[in-house]
Structure 1
Amino acid sequence: MTKTTTSAARVLSTRELNRATLDRQLLLRRSAVSARDAVEHLLGLQAQNVKPPYFALAARIDRFAPEELSALMASREVVRIVTMRSTIHTHTADDCLTLRPLVQPARDRELNNFRDGLAGVDLDRLAELSRELVEAQPRTMKQLREALLTEWPEADPRALAVAARCKLPLVQVTPRGLWRQSGQVVLTTAEKWLGRLTEPSPKLSAVLEQGGTPIAPDATVLRYLAAFGPASVRDMQTWAGLTRLRDAFERLRPQLVTFRDEHGTELFDLPDAPRPAPDTPAPPRFLPEFDNLLLSHADRTRVVRAEHKGRSWKANQAFCTLLVDGFLAGVWRLEESRDGAAATLTIQPFDALTRVQRDEVAAEGERMLKAMTEASSYDIRFGTVVA
């Protein structure tokens, strides 16, 4: 853990970090920004499943309608692609073409996990062939690996498909990801999908042609701090799934301010970024599984108290989470009837809620149900507190 060497640096309490992060995550108060601008400001939305990006925006945007994000996906202004932490994110088209190359070194390292299954495989040839295949016609991972197996029949099929995903910026084409529409994962390249095949992004081309040479992350550091700061170098490395970002922070140090957390870790921030008072009210919020608020810092105590660590996960399954007073306070589940006419929201708090908190949580739950379901009747239930 990096310690600050400047004794004058102000110490930010956990609650101060909590309120600053919530403010930048649009969770202290709902924003009037568009869905596109929110996706851009937040540097993308975790999207392992189809619904989480929609619920993430519903918690952050005033009067958000799921159809707004769905329309952006249909018009290719936002896309679904593997980026940070080797997970699927919903990004704007522009961020797809800059953030995906930024994390290319991590995708190259990921390939090391599959080297045994790729013995004898020419990865440059695999990338070239995979590009030809998915640009001729979008393909599922199954179709892609079956086609690659004809070239390398002795290779591990899954390793071949993963290698294609690591070597190329593959986006999931619609209808996958559209609101209340079904569609399996079908892939093509970002350039093809975004109409930039003949004039590919210079940044993207540079990375692909130079064998994964990383793009200088300085601009992304500033954007990360705007969305997740104040933060340490390790925090951003955790968010991006990258290493060796210290140099970028040091280059930017003259234009940044620094603090310490209660453990002495040095935190960087933008000089004019909001840092609300620790007693600023933080209303309840219902967040989807895999929300980046809970995944984008090495030290997550700013939103997850020590006694609740690990309670939003079970094995490899993440639960939808509830914030009360800005901190993780429970999990929730939404069930809709087959015809969509009825919805039940079940809330499992980790600790007993006060009457005021319970009423506020119920009101926020009712708001979410009205915005995110078509139910004409709904039920909000509170489970028994389980220690």
Structure 2
Amino acid sequence: MAVLDNRALNRATLARQLLLAPAQLDPHEAVAHLCGMQAQEPQEPFVGLWSRLSTFDPAELSHLLTRRRVVRTHLMRRTIHLLTAEDVLSWRSRHEAMLRQRVLAVYRRELADVDLDELAEAGREVLAGGEPQSQAELGKALAHRWPEPRTRALGEVLVGALIPVVQVPPRGLWRTGGAARYLPISAWLGHDVDPVTRDDAAGRGLVRRYLAAFGPAATADVRAWSGLAGLPGAVAATRDELVTFRDERGRELLDLPDAPRPDPDVPAPVRFLPAFDNALLGYDDRSRIVDDEHRGLSVAGDRVVLVDGRVAGTWRSTDGAVHISLVRSLPRRRRQDLVERGSGLASFLSEGASEQVRVS
């Protein structure tokens, strides 16, 4: 079985994540290819698409949200993701058990005496009026029936697990604030979510789609990305369609036969990633893209910058300038590339008003 070293895996990841060369895709196609984009910070997907697409107008993504072609909802790992409408309808039921388990891990004691099915039905009744509700508003609306749990617990279990909902605009629009307010997926999209089928077509589809966007990868990587523990059956059902490799640790890696696996020596351009980007979080073993000593950056909400395909520092934007803090030294040529790409990011974020980049 062929062995893929970390550099080979790095270049494959960059290619699948649209970070090796600018992609000739529109935002809807990109969000679909990436299996959604982590989006608990509402503005971050805009940076993620700017870093990946050859041309990107933020208004296009806002338009997709208002036209209901992409939505914001809890899904993978019970975190807010930006997904196409088609994918959320197909995948939401497959994540139901995981969503319940994770939210109850936080509020199990508070909700011990609450019938969750009864609570879900009451929440649906509140939302049936068609008026978007915040998590706090939902909790308060039901507090008279369940006075013991905190309203926070009631609201969070409703929107995070019990009722398939989306966060409606203006939440998530470009340069637009707005509290997270929810409506049922069925009301917003006009369709109920697809049920889980006996042959687990959704699970098999998830495995294939994950590998197209993240492979080659181990089953532990699929589980780390999705949060789903019940995928071995789906993996087994797709195995005959896949090819296998080993990584340097000896783990078996699965992949689609015709997926891109670039030459490890292909140059990788500087790329700026938003907070919680799945290019990092989408793996159990993240060593293909970040050194072990800097692994914590990916879960702390730091925005990272890739140089030669690996995390080289963090960045933030203030007062129209992009500030870069390196975690390793770079040769002059690489620093010049960093400043040049950072200037483009500063211009994007400030709509051309500034192109200041500061590196430390």
Pair 1:112–1:185, CA change in 2 (3 A): closer
Q: 2:316 aligns with which of 333, 338, 346?
A: 333
Q: Deviations over 1:71-106 (max 9, x none)?
A: 111111111000011100000111111222221111
Structure 1 gap ranges (5+):
1-8, 337-342
1:111 deviation in Å? Answer: 3.9
Aligned residues of 1:101 and 1:214 also touching (Cα < 8 A): no
Superposed, 1:94-105 pairs within 5 Å as: 94-105=86-97
Over residues 152-190 of structure 1, what are the superposed CA-to-partner deviations in whole Å (9 max), with x where a residue is unaligned? 112232221122121111111111111011211111111
TM-score (norm 1): 0.89
Structure 1 position 381 matched with structure 2 position 355: no
Distance in 1 between residues matched to 2:200 and 2:118, nearest whole Å: 21
Please give the alpha-carbon distance, in whole angstroms, between the structure 2 residues aligned to 1:311 and 1:91: 24
- Correspondent of 2:177 among 173, 182, 193: 182
Match status 1:82 vs 2:77: no
What CA distance in whole angstroms lies between the structure 2 residues aligned with 1:329 and 1:222? Answer: 30
Counterpart of 1:162 in structure 2 is 156
Q: 1:374 to 1:102 in 2, by over 3 A?
A: same
Hey, what does 2:143 align to over in structure 1?
Answer: 149
Conservation of the 8 A alpha-carbon contact between 1:31 and 1:60 = yes
Aligned residues of 2:344 and 2:355 also touching (Cα < 8 A): no
Q: How many residues align?
A: 357
Alpha carbons of structure 1 residues 121 and 308: separation in structure 2 relative to 1, 3 Å: closer
Please give the alpha-carbon distance, in whole angstroms, between the structure 2 residues aligned to 1:116 and 1:12: 46
Q: Offset at 1:312?
A: 4.7
Q: Is the 8 A contact 2:4 2:248 kept in 1?
A: yes
Please point out which of 232, 241, 261 is paired with 1:246.
232
- Residue of structure 1 in register with 2:279 after alignment: 293
Give the letter aligned to residue 348 of structure 1. Answer: S
1:55 aligned to which of 28, 43, 47? 47
Shift of 1:371: 2.7
Q: In structure 2, do the counterparts of structure 1 residues 311 and 173 end up closer, same or farther at CA, with 3 Å as the change threshold?
A: closer
Deviations 1:22-44 (A, max 9, x none): 00100000101000000000000
For the 8 Å contact 1:101–1:215, the answer to whether it is kept is no
Identity, in percent, stands at: 44
Matched position secondary structure for 1:90: strand
Could you say what secondary structure the match of 2:92 adopts?
helix
4+ residue stretches of structure 1 with deviation over 3 A? Answer: 213-216
One-letter amino acid of the counterpart of residue 38, structure 1: A
Q: How does 1:34-53 map to 2 (within 5 A)?
A: 34-53=26-45
Moved more, 270-279 or 162-171: 162-171
Structure 1 counterpart of 2:113: 120
Partner of 1:12: 4
Paired residues of 1:46 and 1:290 also in contact (CA < 8 A):
yes
Shift of 1:119: 2.8
Q: Is 1:278 aligned to residue 264 of structure 2? A: yes
1:363 paired with 2:336, answer: no
TM-score (norm 2): 0.95
1:32 and 2:24 correspond: yes
Write the distance in 2 (CA, Å) between the matches of 1:312 and 1:35.
24
Q: Which residue is equivalent to 2:304?
A: 321
Cα distance change on mapping 1:187 and 1:214 into 2, 3 Å: farther
RMSD between aligned residues: 1.7
Residues 104, 157 of structure 2: 8 Å contact kept: no
Q: Which runs of 5+ in 2 are unaligned?
A: none
**Residue in 1 aligned with 2:328?**
351
Moved more, 20-29 or 104-113: 104-113
Shift of 1:215: 6.2
